[in-house]
Homo-oligomer: A and B are copies of this chain.
């Protein structure tokens, strides 16, 4: 990726944070370390106190950036989905065939993540593992409707919608493009999880990736007719 993009930013709903963590060094360290720590110890065990200690800063400073750890998780996962969307858009832009666009999109959304050097304080590989293991906790709450109204999940929704639109374009007769889109995006996380912890429940493994599975599915739907 060329240096023209060096200054790109993933845009996050500003209600998720109190103060933009990108706006200061401390903010970036909060984000950077929180990824390492949540990956390390899991979201439940992770606390602002521990984070503060890790970055050599009082926990109260962290509250200047995020109201609570739930909001921080929303920030991290929003960033992740925004980053995915960005890749999806960039990499499908030049493709002329809808089917190619769709296949590229599915590939991006289901493949194992590799490091992106454009964002130096974010470890995308670890972040993707956090998303696999923690994302659902960000919406499986009693406050989901309220937070949804605040737009906390809008990037994710936009991404699901993009994929849905691609499916629909490729096969306008298919009756469940939205469900399929959400199944792929959420299902990809799930297959990655199963691969690591319940290998008997998935066909994905070292040689067969979730991408193979979902690509196969997409091809079936693409070619199906009423």
Whether A128 sits at the interface, judged by CB under 8 Å, is no
As a 0/1 sequence over residues 10 to 46 of chain A, the CB contacts with chain B under 8 angstroms (1 = contact) are: 0000000000000000000000000000000110110
CA distance A190 to B204 in the complex (A): 20
> Who on chain B is nearest to A174 by CB?
B216
**Stretch of A76-84, A100-108, A114-122, A139-147 lying at the B interface:** A139-147
Residues of B within 8 A of A92 (CB): none
Closest chain B CB from A105 CB (angstroms): 16
Task: Enumerate chain B residues within 8 angstroms of A201, measured Cβ to Cβ.
Answer: 157, 160-161, 164, 178, 181-182
A interface secondary structure, majority:
helix
**Chain B residue with the shortest CB-CB distance to A139:** B197
Determine how many copies of this chain the complex contains: 4
Evaluate contact between A194 and B182: CB separation under 8 angstroms: yes
> What's the minimum C-beta distance from A189 to chain B, rounded to whole angstroms?
10
> Once bound together, how far apart are the Cα atoms of A194 and B176, in whole Å?
13
Q: How far is it, in angstroms, between the C-alpha of A164 and the C-alpha of B200 when the chains are bound?
A: 10
Q: Is the CB of A142 within 8 A of B202?
A: no
Q: Hey, which chain B residues are within 8 Å of A216, CB to CB? A: 175-176
A221 CB contact (under 8 Å) in B133, B161, B220:
B220
Looking across the interface, which residue of chain B has its beta carbon closest to that of A177?
B203
Question: Is A137 in contact with chain B by the CB < 8 A criterion?
Answer: yes
With A44-B141, A175-B216 known as contacts, the answer to whether A191 contacts B182 (CB < 8 A) is: yes
Query: Interface residues, chain A, CB within 8 Å of chain B?
Result: 41-42, 44-45, 133-134, 136-137, 139-142, 144-145, 148, 153, 157, 160-161, 164, 175-183, 186-187, 190-191, 193-194, 197-198, 200-204, 208, 210, 212-213, 216-217, 220-221, 224
